Amino acid sequence: MPAGIDDIAVYIPKLYVDATDFASQRGLDPAKLQKGLGVSQMAMVDTNQDPACLAANVCLKIIQKNNLKPADIGRLYVSTESSIDESKAMNSYVIGMLEQVYGSGVFEHCGGVETKFACVSGSYALYDNANWIRAGEADGKYAIVVVSDIAKYDMGSSGELTQGAGAVAMLLNDCPRLLEFDPRVASTSIKDEYDFYRPTGKSTPIVHGQYSNLLYLIQVRNALEIYKRKAQETGLIEIGQGETVLDHIDYMCMHLPYSNMGKKAFAYLLRHEWRSLPRWKSVVDAVGMEEPIPNNIGTIETILEDRAFMEKDHHFNKRLVETKEFKKEYNAKLASSLRASTMVGNIYTASLYLSFRSALEFEHNRGTDLAGKRFGFCSYGSGSSAMIFSGVICPQYREVVEPMNITAEIGERRRLTFEEYEIIHENKRLPNNPMLDTSKEFVLVDVNTSPDSQGQRRYVYNE
């Protein structure tokens, strides 16, 4: 039985910090954010929003857009790394909020859990729910997978340049209009690592940024090796002489902690795939220098400590992305997927799916016929695991993609002053004192502090 994504919705909070304001206050060149990282605006949550609100808002959006009844939905999974409780799952809060609109108890048989594995957990949730459908367990019902996160880093840290907030909901079924998953090719790589983690009780993560960047590349490449084997064994892809598996994937969506990381990761995959092919000679000639090799391929630490190699390697990559060979691949397969991320910033679990949403809209706007085109998804979560899977765009995709307009979907936003940003970041305003008045949205009213009910959250739907 096929399974895939029937529709996709995005919810982005209405406050943002502009890269230029941020840079001037932190004494940085704005080009570092805009060009170096690919961050123009970073979405911020209001004082009366948490990741559960974002998840409920995007869930309501996809339900209303598709005129679904609560009984049509058999599963609701919420994937996040911004968990608000050690035990109570985020989908239960979302059910509670949705029942304020649809009536008490109407989602009683909509099972699900909250999943966690940094930014990759949404991909595991998609895979598990696709298999629920493939196994015939869905009984004609939809599954909804929501990915919702608030990326918040310590003030003054390098991670502070890559913040953001938002949620994406994906509606899954056995006759999708948008994308049908390729069967039996989803591939993973996993290793116990401390590149980025948030110990219990801490509101911001501990990040080893450069280590994490390199681990992301290595893990995604490991997963691609398995994908390549599975794709050939299942007969999905036949890799001819002088070809790479990437020649058979029309579009790539990458995990985007910041937009330019997608370009880096794509370049890394191409570099490793092309190296053994005849075309590599002309690429290296165009780069104009030999590909550097580390003195010691022991660990990520030894590679990072090898300054001479890192500098040469950085230089090589900078030249590689300027070659016509790379630019051709980049413009054809990746560029459209990076655009929405520059407007929103990092949304952890949701960033890969915002990139898919971005590719659909901007490729369609370029006049591309997407029907039958294969999308490859490169998911990465710190800690660490990568997952690679793929799917093919369905014949009736236009029905869903034609009305897409990410600017309209994000809606009117308010640019925060730097002082307002600091107040929000440091939680100096309470939920009862939001920056914005909103309507038709779920908001957080308060968090109980009494010993018996500590941590209980009240939400309301603002008519």
Residue with smaller CB distance to ligand COA, 4 or 262 = 262
Shortest Å distance, C-beta 167 to ligand COA: 18
Q: Give dist(CA 186, CA 203) in Å, integer.
A: 32
Shortest Å distance, C-beta 178 to ligand COA: 26
Residues 6+ apart with CB under 8 A from 20: 30
Q: 149: which 2 tokens?
A: 């996160």
Residue with smaller CB distance to ligand COA, 26 or 373 = 26
Shortest Å distance, C-beta 204 to ligand COA: 11
The string over 410-431, giving b where at least 16 C-beta atoms fall within 10 Å of a residue's C-beta and e elsewhere, is beebeebeeebbeebbeeeeeb
Residue with smaller CB distance to ligand COA, 57 or 382 = 382
Shortest Å distance, C-beta 258 to ligand COA: 6
Residue with smaller CB distance to ligand COA, 162 or 323 = 162
Residue with smaller CB distance to ligand COA, 179 or 340 = 340
- Output the furthest CA–CA distance in the chain (Å, rounded): 70
Shortest Å distance, C-beta 202 to ligand COA: 15
Q: Give dist(CA 372, CA 164) in Å, integer.
A: 33
433, amino acid identity = N
Are 244 and 297 within 8 A, CB to CB? no
Q: 232: which 2 tokens?
A: 């050939």
Residue with smaller CB distance to ligand COA, 158 or 417 = 158
Q: 381: which 2 tokens?
A: 């979560």
Tallying the residues shown for the chain, one arrives at 463
Shortest Å distance, C-beta 261 to ligand COA: 6
Residue with smaller CB distance to ligand COA, 191 or 281 = 191
Residue with smaller CB distance to ligand COA, 51 or 112 = 51
Shortest Å distance, C-beta 216 to ligand COA: 5
Q: Give dist(CA 425, CA 159) in Å, integer.
A: 13
Interface ranges with ligand COA (CB under 6 A): 29, 31-32, 35-37, 158-159, 161-162, 196, 207, 209-210, 212-213, 216, 257-258, 261, 380, 382
Q: Give dist(CA 456, CA 438) in Å, integer.
A: 23
Q: Give dist(CA 218, CA 141) in Å, integer.
A: 38
Residue with smaller CB distance to ligand COA, 63 or 270 = 270
Are 356 and 375 within 8 A, CB to CB? yes
Centroid of chain to Cα 278? 34
Residues 6+ apart with CB under 8 A from 213: 261, 264
Shortest Å distance, C-beta 118 to ligand COA: 8
Q: Give dist(CA 224, CA 48) in Å, integer.
A: 41
Other beta carbons within 10 angstroms of residue 94's beta carbon come to 33
Q: Please tell me whether residue 252 adopts helix, strand or coil conformation.
A: strand
Shortest Å distance, C-beta 120 to ligand COA: 10
Cis preceding linkage at 384, omega within 30: yes
